[in-house]
Amino acid sequence: MATRARPSGADPRAPVKNCEIILNYDCNARCVFCYQPEDDLKPCSEKRMPFAAASKALYQGYARGCRCAYFIGGEITLLPDLPKIIKLAAKIGYPWIQVMSNGLRLAEKAYTDDLIAAGANLFRLSLHGPSEKIHDRLVGVPGAFARLTAAFDNIKSGGAELCVNMALNKVNYRSLPEMVKLVTGRFGVRDFNIIFPHYSGMMAKNSGLLKVSVGQAVPYLRRTLAYMKKAGVRPESRVLINFCPCNIPEAAHLMAEWDRPSRPEDDEPLYYVEGQTDAVYSVKERIRVKNPSCSRCVYDPVCMGFEKWYADVFGRREFRPVLKKPEPFPLFPLPRRKPAREGGR
Ligand code: SF4
């Protein structure tokens, strides 16, 4: 859901709208922290979007001004139609075509090359630990870390851009600085997200084992930001996801998806497998709540609040009004590079 800079034209930091399409729910991993309910993840062809529905969503999204076709699941590399869907997005003219994946299948170089040849130029993969021991345990697949890092190499050698998501939980949050070092050092990634957990689906079910509070995570975030500053790592987008400015006010400028779009038409369309449509930020706002004291916070006019799922697990005490904006931590996102393809084919 991260925003992207424009391919050409005025402000290189201005975001480009995503057309977010959930193509399936089934998955070949067994992540214990998944935000989907367990039943959704089982193999089931009825939980896959037909090609005609994906096509309709892509045309509609483009007509609404979206320029990044963003395909998510489940695990979308399980779909036989995926190369065909990507080809259509390229034909329509999307300058960015983003594939979100756990990376298991992308360890096959020939398959990754096929997706790149079809038109995919951004791959957003998920890393959940700095080592095999932690990553494989969390995703429930032996050998997953080795396959993920092979996928990283395949994407880079294929000439596409590698983006990485890191979702925090009790098992990995202390390893965050190491994970960022791995991603930004060995793999040179500049578009990455550090995601605070959404306490829904499997993550809610397993919260007894996996829960981590904002208060526990923030010291490791601060260490990570300090590392990035010292190492000269400037991210290409706002890297902190599912945080509120009051959690770490000096890093509010590095947070995404906490503030509502200034105009309703800037919200991003979201297409579900079953055919319903929604809008990304509207969905986020519906699952968020605020404290009465939020009315005193300097971020209140634009802040969507915190997830009610979090409040169900930890309560609301950690969300206290910020009365004055602090000096921003001295680390600022870079403008994105231009994509290889500037327009339609
Ligand atoms: S408005 Fe409330 S939730 Fe948002 S940053 Fe301020 S205190 Fe936190």
| Start-end of H helices in 79-166 | 82-92, 109-118, 132-139, 144-157
Q: Name the more confident of 339 and 175.
A: 175
Mean model confidence pLDDT for the chain: 91
| Amino acid in the structure at residue 62 | Y
- The DSSP element (H or E) to which 15 belongs, if any, is strand 15-16
In the chain, % of residues over pLDDT 70: 90
Among 293, 303, 325, residue to substitute to test ligand 1 (most atoms within 8 Å of Cβ): 303
**Any atom of ligand 1 within 6 Å of the Cβ of 304:** no
Q: Find out whether 98 and 122 touch, Cβ atoms under 8 Å.
A: yes
Give the strand order in the sheet containing 122-126: 255-256, 240-241, 191-195, 161-167, 122-126, 96-101, 68-72, 18-22, 269-271, 277-279
CA–CA dist 273, 167 (Å, integer): 23
**Any atom of ligand 1 within 6 Å of the Cβ of 300:** yes
- Can you tell me which residue has the tokens 């369309």? 269
- Can you tell me which residue has the tokens 């400015």? 245
End-to-end CA distance of the chain: 25
The per-residue pLDDT for range 35-61, each reduced to its tens digit, is 887 776 666 656 899 999 999 999 999
| Tally of CB atoms within 10 A around 197 | 25
**Any atom of ligand 1 within 6 Å of the Cβ of 299:** yes
CA 157 to ligand 1 center in whole angstroms: 43
Q: How many angstroms separate the most distant Cα atoms in the chain? A: 55
**Any atom of ligand 1 within 6 Å of the Cβ of 297:** yes
**Any atom of ligand 1 within 6 Å of the Cβ of 119:** no
pLDDT band at 337 (very low <50, low <70, confident <90, very high): low
pTM for this structure? 0.91
**Any atom of ligand 1 within 6 Å of the Cβ of 12:** no
Please determine, for residue 197, whether its predicted confidence score (pLDDT) is greater than 50.
yes
Mean pLDDT score, 245-267: 93
Task: Output the residue whose Cα is nearest ligand 1's atom 2.
Answer: 294
Angle value at C-alpha 328, between 169 and 266, nearest 5 degrees: 75
**Any atom of ligand 1 within 6 Å of the Cβ of 310:** no
Task: Determine the pLDDT at residue 153.
Answer: 98
Q: How far is CA 342 from the centre of its chain?
A: 23
Q: How far is CA 11 from the centre of its chain?
A: 23
* Helix and strand numbers, DSSP H then E, in the chain: 11, 14
Which atom, in ligand 1's list, is nearest to the CA of 291?
A: 2
Whether CATH 1.10.530.10 fits 4-314: no
**Any atom of ligand 1 within 6 Å of the Cβ of 305:** yes
